[in-house]
Amino acid sequence: MSDTTARVLRLLSLLQQRPVWTGPELAERLGVTTRSIRRDVERMRGLGYPVQATQDWAGATSSGGARACPHSCSTTTKRSPSRCR
């Protein structure tokens, strides 16, 4: 597994633990820059994970709201049982 893939999975785990994080908090937890966090959030969105991010008046970014499985893994569609676990 690549470093980027492992980091995105760790980011997903963090976003599921708590509803709101700042970019600097996530960057510190993952040992990367806030730019890397923004790129990883875009990767997650590209995969269908609904990650919301806002920027406050001071320019700080906060993220949260990622679900464990992207919308495309809906339980109403027929998919492999192991796909979304």
**What is the span of the domain harbouring residue 8?**
3-73
**53 with 63: CB under 8 angstroms?**
yes
62 in a structural domain: yes
pTM, entire model: 0.67
Number of domains in the chain: 1
52 in a structural domain: yes
85 in a structural domain: no
84 in a structural domain: no
- Kindly give the confidence (pLDDT) of every residue in the chain, 85 residues in length, as a single tens digit, with 9 standing for 90 and above: 889 999 999 999 999 898 888 889 999 999 999 999 989 999 999 999 888 877 765 555 555 555 555 544 444 444 434 344 3
79 in a structural domain: no
Could you tell me the sign of the dihedral formed by the alpha carbons of 85, 40, 77, 18, in that order? positive
CATH of the domain at 22: 1.10.10.10
